[in-house]
Amino acid sequence: MSAQATGPETLGSLSDEPEINDPNSKQAKEISGKSPMQIALGRLRKDKIAVTCAIIVIFFLLVAIFADLIAKAFGVSLDTVTACEVLECNFAEPGVGYPKTGPPFYPFDPAHPFGLAPRTGADNLAHWIYGCRTSLMIAGAATLFSSVVGIVVGLVSGFTGGVVDKILSFITDFFLTIPFLLAALTISPIIIDRFGTSDSYETIQIGSLILILSLFGWMTVARLIRGEVLSLREREFIHAARVLGMPTRRILFKELLPNLTAPIVISISLMLPAFVAAEAGLAFLGIGVTGSASWGQTIANAVPYWSNYPLYLWEPLIGVVALVLALNLLGDAVRDAFDPKTRR
Amino acid sequence: MFAYVVKRLLSGVVVLFLISMSVFLLFWYGPSEPAQTICDNDTSNRCTPARLEVFRENLGFNNPWYEEYGKFMKGVVAGREIQFGSTTKFDCPAPCLGYSYRTKAPVFEEMKQRMPATFSVAIGGAFLYLTLGIPIGVAAARRRGTLTDKALVSSFLVISSIPYYLFALLTWLFLTISWEIPLFSDTGYFPITENPAKWFSGMFLAWMALGAFGCTTYTRYSRGSMVEVLNEDYIRTAKAKGLRDNTVVYKHALRSALVPVITIFGIEFGTLLAGTIFTETIFDIDGIGLWSLQAVAQRDLPVVSATALFAAAVLIISNIVVDVIYSVLDPRVRLS
Amino acid sequence: MTQDPNAKVGIEASEIGANAAETGDRDLSHRDTDVVDDHEVVHAPLDFHELAEQGHAATALDPDAEPIITIDNLKMYFPVKSSGLVRRTVGHVQAVDGVSFEVPRGGSLGLVGESGCGKSTTGRLITRLYKPTGGSMMFEGHDLAKLSNSEMRPLRRDVQMIFQDPYTSLNPRHTVGTIVGSPLAVHNIVPKDKILPRVQELLEVVGLNPEHYNRYPNEFSGGQRQRIGIARALTLNPKLLVADEPVSALDVSIQAQVVNLLQDLQREFDIAFLFIAHDLAVVRHFCPEVAVMYLGKIVEIGDRDRIYSHAHHPYTQALLSAVPDVKQAAVGGRRERIRLEGDVPSPINPPSGCRFRTRCQFAQEICAKVEPPLLQIGKRHKVACHFAGELGSHPATPVTTDLLAIDDQGTPVAGATPTNEQLTIPGYEKTWYDLKSKQTTGV
Amino acid sequence: MTITSPSSTSSPSDVDGPYLQVEDLTVTFPTQDGPVQAVKGLSYSVELGKTLGIVGESGSGKSVSSMAVMGLHDAKSSEISGSIRVGGTEVVGLAESRMRKLRGNAMAMIFQDALAALHPFYRVGDQLAEAYAMHHPKASKRDGRRKAIEMLDRVGIPQPDRRVDDFAHQFSGGMRQRVMIAMGLINDPSLLIADEPTTALDVTVQAQILDLLQDLQREFNSAVIIITHDLGVIAEMADEVLVMYAGRCVEFGTTKEILTRPEMPYSWGLLSSIPEVGASTDARLIPIPGNPPSLLKPPSGCSFHPRCSHRDKVPGDLCFTELPALTPASNRAGHLKRCHLPNPEEIYRTEVLPEIAPDLAEEIR
């Protein structure tokens, strides 16, 4: 009796649904295996909130990527203007320094759809668009760097154990003991002053901000990954890989790493919104990005004008809140999709 | 347990040492001249290069860093003398964290003055969000799956997803600027010993902002933790004993559910105590957070390093306290 | 490789959900990922007689088989650290302490004992998941205990392992094809395009649908996953398989499927098994030879009949009497049961002398003083007990005194020399010590 | 180490009617993929002083049914219909406050995983005393503690007055299960449900626990339900056996009847798929093919037909289309089976037994 020869013929008697039992049938071939990742994505696709949030995030991403094109299409730019050309420069009267066109005192001006900033006369829309780019660029790069560092540290310390683990854990704990905000406040101006020559000031500032955020962002990933590796290491499939004679590098990257997708995706989903918020927060305190457009900086500038010109504050504020909210809710949905036990 | 605490304290001291050294080095090799700040602040004279050089010399910036760091450490342990300008000499008893370049006041004294403000903000806020968040979370967990639960959880999720400082900022803008509600309009720190009513009304808005925001996150933590515990086998055992629902929930489930919440709380409370920078900045409360922000902007090295050390010390201690509490709450945990 | 028709046990699989419902709403959450499809090769008979034909009686012993692996005085001590400021090593868990045995080529040795007795550690030492503290493991001229990891690699093809938990022994992120084929890729045995056919062949051997190589483990039931684990172990054509509790995590009716499959594979591919289990009945069925472990030591070893019908060690006797017996009860009444008091002592500080003495009703002074040697008392039967004897006829005086040159209290006798030379030999001698005549005899 | 003499498991019952009576019990869990009927039309009864064994694979509904007896299913996520009478009180639909008075008092339950089932943060003594105090509102704290020590002593825990202040994790597996039993018996319940009480334990410890349960039952004269997948445990403990498959009772009878003259192919399969320590080495191990069925889409007709190797002996496609009724087996009182086979007794004797126990088959012939 050979399987190939007799396989299909004997099927009928065994099942009430013989057509599905046939291993060679069309259905069986179409239903190819679903990895846990695919299952999670499938769950995510059915989640309406997740889809909405993803659309919002994609919108901001597009704005950030095509900032130049969009600004050109609206005919706005970051260029500094002579303030008194667009602002009311009469210092003796009330409404000092408010724009001559558009909000808050004049009707909508299509040349400046978001209005103009008081005191400087800068275009709000241009600042908003480039602020979005700054925000996502910094948050994205910081997330990337801290994930890579965190994953490597977590993998190594979890898998090797012993002295290496002790040293890496001490470093992780050390960085966790440093209050992030204070450290960022202290370090960022120093780095900027140190390396910021006048022509590349803006790039240096953004770079140093990314560095600082990454410097204080990797520990949670490292801890998460380490914990996960410690529990995975005791799973029998890792023993099986050892018994098969798999080299350690292969075990780390082929056996362990694929099982870390969930914690990695989860920590990215937590980091991205946190970094967007942190970037804006530092700028709000006057210590983050000051050389180029940033939502946080605009918010700080707009607070004194709140009573007369609330729109000036609302624009960047809604930008930050919408982006952070969408990222957070999406992250929450992602976490649910990967771990159905924590379902709300 | 005692050995454990000692061990942790020792490693905490090492961490503090490393942090103070890093701050010191950062400023030492940092680009901006700390002497410039103190020279500019010396309002009686214009800062000439010659005067700057005097300040450099006096502050020890012409000596190697380890020499100065040694002096600093000696000051912390035994106190020392500090000289500003050519004439003024100050005696700085231990623990000497130096004199502020800006105000020329001893840093330790200034810090002591500002601590009550920060502690008032942190303790009041934490009290509010715990007393609100945990009961709401427990109630939601008991009604899990119902419409109320879902509505509550999703609305709290939305609120807690907003960056805290924007939440606080909007609270302040609306309540004091737009609506000018009297109770909230006079924010700031007034010592409780002088005028408790004024202290209360000055703190109230900050507490509200911290409490309302923190309550949403703590509701979610405690709800999640509670839901998990309610699925445990020993809860089924408790029910099988014939215990009342309330006994099951409040005696058997709540104790286990609180353990992870307390862990998170301990660490976050440490961060709060270490300096509520945003809260103090937005509500104009003169505490450690605001102080450190100003010091950074002014390159006031002694103040920055003092706040960094203070913050780290608070975090280390709160971590140890959390671990000890954990081992008391959960008899399975043995500290080693 | 020829196909054994017995290998394909007929299966109709169905979607699962059953496990979840057993405990009510508590476990329903994982149900949607735990869908089981029809993965098994579906052409076995549902006729009882054919089914019975495919079932097996207990495996028989081949007394002339050469040993494939010889374990001699194997030791594994895990350090225990103190909990002070300075973490010193304050003791050792003596998980395995001087174990010696042989596994015959193509045969199977069962390793039984209660949890914590060191049987799983022994299995992991042989597969070199741990490096032994001492002793030797001779396998085809190599001492596995001394090899470095890289020297061990080529030998791993010959020594493979089947794991207990079908849910954690398969990497959830890999397809079945990758899991079963990875040994080939690791050892670079066949070209890449030959891996898939080999994988499909193996899946068929273990009774799974070879078309389902691209499925993920979460789509299979526990029994099917265990088959995948077995296929992976078979990929490299091993000569020795360490099976660590291979059926204890499975449902009763599935256990028999897997035991039959293992018997088929053993016959067809001539694989030697070290079969580790706590279920004495399954071990009796699968293994013609059995070793009983207690606290890191073998207390009794012998062929099936000697262990199950003529046990001489009080622990073996207690263990056997504790197993509930269906047919006995069905015929009427219960067997006599030996009740063991207390718990197994800590392996960090095991009792002196005989480790079982703290729970043994026959224990005397000598048991605390002198450790009983694993003495050969029959053609294929060794026991480590001063008072070895069949149930109800344990001797009143120690049987080992002459051999060890000690008196009844365990004190060395001046002038006398120990006479027994074969105490730690892994296999069996041609001659043995006859308990009745107290003489060394042979056939 | 002592040798205990074999004992008979039955003791005379002096109450009229069974203490627990379950009739037509159905438990349904609504899920996203549709309702799951975990228990369907189950009826059984247990008298005081008697032990009923419930046996089946995972997913057969054995735990679900006894959780329903204890009223431990969440009303929001389960639907229970039928009738459960405990000592004459109808439990289905009973108000929670009255149900609570029965739970832990008239009936108690012992769970499989004692480490998970005991609260990790409270001393075992306090947990025991709590169970006592709940149903003895007048008892003082000291009474509760004394009772706890007394119960720990009763279940054979050495130094009970010291161990009463230990936590669950400080006990060994067997001792922990004894604590669990002490907690179940502290209010002298008339009905005790033991859900896989020895599954996670070693054989020697299992033997201790089973002996203990039997001694205590004789002493307390309670009705006991023991749930297990191990026929050996059933054989030693139970007076009567209920075999469950896919949520239904498929065979019921005295232990001796079920183990010597089973009349349902699933019971045969259970007997043939486990090896025996004492059986002949010629006995074959014959598995039940396939896997347990899904409760979401249970098979048509007889739930067992997809795995049944005797269904071709039933005329027509009865097994595929029609659910067999629970009918009396070959004229012996109290033995019920759910099967279409016309002559199961003969098939078992002539076909099955010679394969799985050649020695026994010889004897009977």
Distance from the C129 Cα atom to the nearest Cα atom in chain A, whole angstroms: 7
Give which of C116, B232, C247, B237 is closest to D177, Cα–Cα.
B237
Minimum-distance CB partner of C223 among D230, D291, D299: D291
Q: What is the CATH number of the domain that holds C102?
A: 3.40.50.300
C11 vs D7, D33, D290: nearest CB:
D290
Residue-wise over A47-69: b if at least 16 C-beta within 10 A, else e?
beebeebbebbeebeebbeebee
Give the residue-averaged pLDDT of D304-323. 87
* Per-residue pLDDT at B156 exceeds 80: yes
- B324: closest CA of chain D, how far (Å): 15
State the pLDDT confidence band at C202, using cuts at 50, 70 and 90.
Answer: very high
Q: Which residues in chain B have Cβ-Cβ distances shorter than 8 Å to C83?
A: 3, 334, 336
The reported pLDDT for the residue numbered C32 is: 35
Q: Is residue C323 part of a domain?
A: no
CB-based contact D131:D104 (threshold 8 Å): yes
Give the model's pLDDT for residue A225.
92
Instruction: Give bridge partners of residue C290 from the DSSP assignment.
Output: C110, C302
| Residue C127 domain flag | yes
Residue D49 scores a pLDDT above 60: yes
Convert the pLDDT of each residue in C209-266 to its tens digit: 888 888 888 888 888 999 999 999 999 999 999 999 999 888 888 888 999 999 999 9
pLDDT at B221 > cutoff 50: yes
The per-residue pLDDT for range D114-149, each reduced to its tens digit, is 999 999 999 999 999 999 999 999 999 999 999 999
DSSP B112-171: HHHHHHHHHHHHHHHHHHHHHHHHHHHHHHHTTTSHHHHHHHHHHHHHHHS-HHHHHHHH
Specify if C407 maps to a domain.
no
Q: What pLDDT shows up at residue A219?
A: 92
Q: pLDDT tens across D276-289, in order?
A: 887 778 888 888 88
* Domain with C110 in it: 67-80+90-294
Q: What is the mean pLDDT of residues B260-282?
A: 86
What is the helix (H) or strand (E) element at residue A296, kind and residue range? helix A295-302
Interface partners of chain C (CB pairs < 8 Å, 3 or more) are A, B, D
Give, for D42, the enclosing helix (H) or strand (E).
strand D34-46
């992602």: which residue's tokens?
A: A334
D77 in contact with C, Cβ within 8 Å: yes
User: Which alpha helices (H) appear in chain D, and where do they start and end?
Assistant: 62-70, 96-102, 114-117, 124-135, 141-154, 160-163, 173-185, 203-220, 231-237, 255-260, 265-272, 318-321, 344-347, 353-356, 358-364
- Please say if the pLDDT value at position D266 is more than 90: yes
Mean pLDDT of B293-304: 81
Given a cut of 60, whether residue C375 has pLDDT beyond it is yes
Rg of chain D in Å (alpha carbons): 21
Binary contact (A242, C129; C-beta < 8 A): yes
C-alpha to C-alpha distance for C233 and C227, rounded to whole angstroms: 10
pLDDT at D186: 92
> Mean pLDDT, to the nearest integer, of A209-227?
90
Same domain, C12 and C149: no
Whether residues C13 and C157 share a domain: the answer is no
Query: Would you tell me which residues 410-429 of chain C have a C-beta closer than 8 angstroms to some C-beta of chain B?
Result: none
DSSP label at A23? T
Best CA proximity match to D25, nearest among D194, D244, D222: D244
Is residue D332 pLDDT above 80, yes or no? no
Query: Helix, strand, coil shares of chain B as percentages rounded to 5?
Result: 75, 5, 25
Q: Give the percent of chain C with pLDDT over 90.
A: 42
Rounded to a whole number of angstroms, the distance from the CA of B108 to the nearest CA of chain C is 33
More confident: D201 or B51: D201
Average pLDDT, stretch A299-311? 83
Rounded to the nearest integer, the mean pLDDT of chain D is 87
Q: Would you say residue C187 lies in a domain?
A: yes
Write down the domain spans for chain B. Answer: 2-107, 109-329
At D146-191, the pLDDT tens digits run 999 999 999 989 899 999 999 999 998 889 999 999 999 999 999 9
The answer to whether D290 contacts C361, with C-beta atoms less than 8 Å apart, is: no
- Find the residue in B nearest to D166 (Cα): B331
Q: Do C198 and C267 belong together in one domain? A: yes
Query: Is C50 a member of any domain?
Result: no
Per-residue pLDDT band for C83 (boundaries 50, 70, 90) equals low
Decide if A63 contacts A129 (C-beta within 8 A).
yes
Give C207's contacts (C-beta < 8 A, 6+ positions apart). C7, C8, C9, C11, C40, C41, C227, C261
Chains in contact with B, where contact requires at least 3 CB pairs less than 8 Å apart: A, C, D
| Sign of the CA dihedral with B200 first, then B203, B209, and B214 last | negative
Q: What is the mean pLDDT of residues B222-238?
A: 92
Among C270, C294, C318, the domain-final residue is C294
Q: Which domains does chain D have, with CATH numbers?
A: 17-238 (3.40.50.300), 261-364 (no CATH)
Look at chain C and report how many structural domains it folds into. 2
Contact B231 C26 (CB under 8 A): yes
Q: D191-195 and D223-228: which strand pairing?
A: parallel
- Rounded to a whole number, what is the distance in Å from the CA of D316 to chain A's nearest CA? 13
Same domain, C99 and C188: yes
H/E element, B69? helix B65-78
Which has the closest alpha carbon to C75: C135, C19, C154, C15?
C135
Closest among C21, A22, C399, A341 to D64, alpha carbons compared: C21
The reply to whether C19 and C101 lie within a common domain is no
Instruction: Say if C410 falls within a structural domain.
Output: no
**Is C353 contained in some domain?**
no
Distance of CA C321 to the CA centre of its chain: 20
Q: Do D289 and C51 touch (CB under 8 A)?
A: yes
pLDDT at D320 over 60: yes
Torsion of CA D207, D210, D215, D219, to 10 degrees: 170
Q: Label residue A152 by pLDDT band (50, 70, 90).
A: very high
Q: What is the rounded distance in angstroms from the CA atom of residue A224 to the CA atom of residue A271?
A: 13
pLDDT at res. C28: 33
Task: Tell whether C20 and C154 lie within a shared domain.
Answer: no
Task: Give the pLDDT score at D3.
Answer: 43
The 3-state secondary structure of C151-203, one letter per residue: HHHHHHHCEEEECCCCCCCCCCCCCHHHHHHHHHHHHCCCCHHHHHHHHHHHH
Q: How far is A11 from chain C (nearest CA, A)?
A: 6
pLDDT in tens, A175-212: 888 878 777 777 776 766 666 565 667 777 788 888 88
- Render C233-271 in DSSP notation, one character per residue: HHTT--SEEEEESTTTTS-HHHHHHHHHHHHHHHHHHT-
CB contact under 8 A, C216 and A15: no
Q: What share of chain C is helix, strand, coil (3-state, %, to 5)?
A: 35, 20, 45
C147 and C248 part of one domain:
yes
pLDDT reported for residue B237: 93
| Cα A290 to Cα A193: distance, rounded to the nearest angstrom | 13
Same domain, C12 and C115: no
Question: Which pLDDT value is given to residue D127?
Answer: 94
Phi/psi for B33 (5° steps) reads -85, 110
B109-329 belongs to CATH 3.30.9.10: no
- Is A234 buried (19+), middle (13-18) or exposed (0-12) by CB count in 10 A? exposed
Instruction: Identify the residue among A9, A244, A254 best suited for mutation to test binding to C, counting C beta carbons within 10 A and taking the highest.
Output: A244
DSSP D306-364: GG-SSGGGSSTTHHHH-PPP-EE-TT-TT-EE----S-HHHHIIIIIHHHH-HHHHHHH
Measured in residues, chain B has a length of 336
Asked whether the predicted pLDDT for residue B62 surpasses 90, the reply is no
Query: What pLDDT score was predicted for residue B64?
Result: 79
Is A197 in the B-facing interface, judged by CB distances under 8 Å? Answer: no
pLDDT at B253 exceeding the cut of 90: yes
Subunits next to D (3 or more Cβ pairs <8 Å) are A, B, C
Q: Are C9 and C104 in a shared domain?
A: no
One domain, residues C19 and C98? no
Task: Please name which of B114, B211, B318, B274 lies closest in space to residue A185, comparing C-alpha atoms.
Answer: B274
pLDDT single digits (tens) C106-133: 999 999 998 889 999 999 999 999 999 9
Q: Is C58 on the interface with D (CB under 8 A)?
A: yes
Asked if residue C165 is part of any domain, the answer here is yes
Per the confidence metrics, is the pTM higher than 0.90? Answer: no
Residue A27 has pLDDT above 50, yes or no: no
Q: Provide CB contacts within 8 A for C86, sequence distance 6+.
A: none
Q: How far apart are CA C256 and CA D275, in angstroms?
A: 8
> A204 versus C365: which is more confidently predicted?
C365
Average pLDDT over residues A249-269: 88
